[in-house]
Amino acid sequence: MADVTASVLDALAASEGPILSTDAFPSIPSLTVKSALDRLASRSMVEYETIDREVVVLTEEGESIAANGSHEAKVFEAVAAAMEGLKISDLPNLVGKDVAKVGQGNAFKRGWIKKDKDVLRPNVDSIRDETREQLQAIKDTQTHPDSKVIADLKKRKLVTLQKAISFRIRKGPKFAREFVKEETDLTADMLASGAWKTVQLKPYNFRAKGAPAQSGALHPLNKVRQEFRSIFFEMGFEEMPTNRFVETGFWNFDALFVPQQHPARDLQDTFYIADPKTADPPRADPPNDPHLSRLASMPSSGGAPTQPKPVDFQEYWDNVRQVHETGKYGSIGYRYPWNPEEAKRLVLRTHTTSVSAYMLHKLAQDPRPARYFSIDRVFRNEAVDATHLAEFHQIEGVIADFGLALGGLIGFMEVFFGKMGIHKLRFKPAYNPYTEPSMEIFGYHDGLGKWVEIGNSGMFRSEMLEAMGLPPDMRVYGWGLSLERPTMIKYGVSNIRELLGHKVDLNFIETNPAVRLDKD
C-alpha cells in the first residue's frame, strides 16, 4: 500500500494536470490503486473520479489465432501447398480436426478455395487474413471501431467483453509530495513528551452517517416455538428437561412398547452411535437431577388415585422384558426373545417421547394428575425434501389423569391449535406401538393447497403405563407435533428447507410482517 501511495504522489508531482491510472500504473490492479486513492483522498491530498468502461479481450482461442493465423487461413495454406489438390479426407490430418471443421467452411465462404469432387483446390492466388488482423488490433487497443466485427468475433467465441475500471486523478487541496502518517489516538505518552504538538492527528468525520439502525427480528421457528411454550404454560403444563440428544434404545423404543424388529429401528430410519455403541443398563433418570426432582404435578381434577406399590427400576426393566416376550397387563406381547443388548444401544433420539417415558416412570412413584411438555430437536435418517428434514423440532406433550377419553384429546387439540390460529384440522385413525387408540393430525396448508400431516397422538397403552407402576385406572394422552410444519402453515412457506439449513432466506424475515419482532 505504501509503495502505491508514493507512486501516485510521484506521478502527480511530475505531471502538470490530471493523470489516468491505466497510463501511470498499467500493471497494478485497479483495487490496489483504489485503496491507495481512498487513503489519500481521506486526507484531501488527491481527488479522483472513477471511469467505468467495457473492453474487448481475446479468449484463449482468439489469442492463438492472433499469434498463428485463423483457421480459414491455415486451411488455404494447406490447400495451396498441395500441387495436385488436397483430398478432403486428408485435411484434418494436416491442420487438425477442429481447424478443418471451422476453417473449411469459412474458406469456402470467402471464396478462397473450391471443391473438385473430393479434392480441394485454391480459388485465389493470395489471401488477406482479416480475422487475425482484427484480433491483433483488438489485442492492442481493447476495442474495434466496427461494432459488427466485435459482434461477429464474440459469436465465434474469439473475444469476450469485460468491465474495466480506471481512475482520473488530480491534486487535492492538501497535496504534498510525501505522505504523512496521521495518528488516530491521543495517548498519554504524547501528552507527557509534548509530541502532541507536532504529530498529525486524523480529524473526526462528523458528517459520517454510520450504519443504518434496523429493528430486530425473530426467526419464524423461534417465534412459533415461543408461542407454543406460552400456550402450554397458559394451559397448565410444566416443561420437561430435554438435554439428552443421545438416548438408549430402551427409553427411545423398548419402554414405549416398540418391538426390536420394528422398521423404525433399522439403520435407514435411525442414527446409531458408532463409539460407544452401547451404554450401561439405563437408569430411571440422570442422578442428582434437580430439575427432575422439583417437577410437580397438577392438582387433581378427577377421582382419588389408587396408590400402587412403587416399582424399582430393575423390576421395571423386567416388566418391559416380559411385556415384549410373553405379554402382561392384558397383552399377549410380541412373542419374541427380547435382547437386553439391543435395548442398551445408543441412538440419536428419534422423538422426545423418550423424555415423556422416564417422566411418567417418575410420576409412577407418586401418581397424580400431571401435564408435561417439551420442545426440542429430534433426528431421523430420512431423505430431505420439501416437507421432510433429517433434523427437526418435535413438540411433545402428555396429560395424565383419571377418567380420560379419546374425545377429550380431540377437543384439546382443537383448542390448542386454535390458539395458534390454525382452525382447519382433521383426525385420521392410525397405528402406534405405544398408543391405542391412535390418531394422525392434519392441518390445511393454504399455500400448498392440501392437507399436511402435522402430528401424531393417542392414549398410551396399559402395557407401557402399568409396567412403570402407574395405576390401572390412570389414563395418559400423548402427542408429538412438528414445529416446522405448523410454522409453514402459519407463514405460508411451501418448502421446509426455507426455514432451516443452508437454503434459509434471511430476507424472508424482513418481507413477512408476521415475523417482525413486536415491541411488546
∠ CA(74), CA(76), CA(79), 5° rounding? 110
Going residue by residue through the chain, which has 520 residues, state the pLDDT in tens, using 9 for 90 and above.
456 888 888 888 888 888 888 778 877 888 888 888 888 888 888 888 888 888 888 999 889 989 999 999 998 999 888 878 888 888 888 888 888 888 898 899 889 999 888 889 988 988 999 999 999 998 888 888 888 988 988 888 899 988 888 888 888 888 887 777 778 888 898 899 988 888 878 777 777 777 666 666 677 778 888 888 999 999 999 999 888 889 888 888 988 988 888 887 776 578 888 888 888 765 544 443 433 333 333 333 344 444 444 557 888 888 999 999 998 888 888 899 998 888 888 988 888 898 999 899 989 888 999 999 999 888 877 666 555 566 778 888 999 999 899 999 999 888 888 887 778 889 999 988 899 899 998 888 776 678 878 788 999 999 899 998 899 989 999 988 888 777 777 777 776 666 766 556 656 555 555 544 443 3
- Total number of domains constituting the chain: 2
233 occurs within a structural domain: yes
Query: Do 283 and 429 fall into the same domain?
Result: yes
Is residue 397 a part of any domain in this protein?
yes
Nearest to 354 by CA among 204, 239, 250: 250
**Does residue 30 sit in helix, strand or coil?**
helix
Mark whether 306 and 455 lie in a shared domain: yes
- Residue at a domain's end among 112, 128, 144: 128
Report if residue 407 sits inside a domain: yes
Residue with cell 430437536: 377
Residues 269 and 413 in one domain: yes
Quick check: 166 and 53 in contact, CB under 8 A?
yes
Same domain, 119 and 267: no
**Do 398 and 290 fall into the same domain?**
yes
Measured distance between the N- and C-terminal CA atoms of the chain, rounded to whole angstroms = 50
Residue 340 maps to a domain: yes
| pLDDT value of position 371 | 94
Compute CA distances 140 → 55, 58, 470, 501, whole Å.
Answer: 11, 10, 91, 50
Q: Which domain holds residue 391?
A: 221-515
Element (H, E) at 427: strand 425-432
CA–CA separation, 210 vs 196, rounded Å?
A: 28
Do residues 124 and 273 both lie within one domain? Answer: no
Report which of 52, 64, 54 is spatially closest to residue 157, judged by C-alpha positions.
Answer: 64
Q: Are 352 and 396 in contact (CB under 8 A)?
A: yes
User: Do residues 172 and 44 touch, judged by C-beta distance below 8 A?
Assistant: yes
- CATH code at position 88: 1.10.10.10
Sheet (strand 159-171) strand order: 19-20, 159-171, 46-58
Task: Answer yes or no: are the C-beta atoms of 388 and 346 closer than 8 Å.
Answer: no
Residue 319 maps to which CATH number?
Answer: 3.30.930.10
Of 82, 106, 128, the one marking the end of a domain is: 128
In three-state secondary structure terms, 325 is helix
Q: Do residues 221 and 500 lie in contact, with contact meaning Cβ atoms separated by under 8 Å?
A: yes
Locate all alpha helices (DSSP H) within 51-146, ordered by sequence: 60-68, 71-81, 91-95, 97-109, 130-141
Q: Is the dihedral of CA 57, 59, 64, 70 positive or negative?
A: negative
Q: How far apart are CA 410 and CA 60, in angstroms?
A: 71
| Residue 41 is assigned to a structural domain of this protein | no
Taking the C-alpha atoms of residue 505 and residue 498, their distance in angstroms, rounded to an integer, is: 6
Cα–Cα distances in angstroms (integers) from residue 199 to residues 187, 196, 210, 419, in the given order: 11, 5, 27, 67
CA-CA distance, 454 to 443, in Å (whole number)? 6
| Whether 90 and 231 share a structural domain | no
Is residue 102 included in any domain, yes or no? yes
The pTM of this model reads 0.52
Please calculate the CA angle 433-437-438 and round it to the nearest 5 degrees.
65
289 with 434, same domain? Answer: yes
In a domain, 463, yes or no: yes
Q: C-alpha cell of 75?
A: 486451411
Predicted confidence at residue 304, as pLDDT, reads: 43
Residue 460 lies in a domain: yes
| Amino acid letter, 383 | A
231 and 111 together in one domain? no
Nearest to 328 by CA among 225, 214, 469: 469
CA atoms within 13 Å, Cβ hemisphere of 332: 1
Of 41, 119, 109, which Cα lies nearest the Cα of 87? 119
Q: Do 377 and 245 meet the contact criterion of CB atoms below 8 Å apart? A: yes
**Bridge partners of residue 58, in order along the sequence:** 159
Query: Among residues 83, 107, 128, which one ends one of the domains?
Result: 128
Using the 8-state DSSP alphabet, how is residue 201 labeled?
A: B
106 and 236 co-located in one domain: no
Rounded CA Rg of the chain: 40
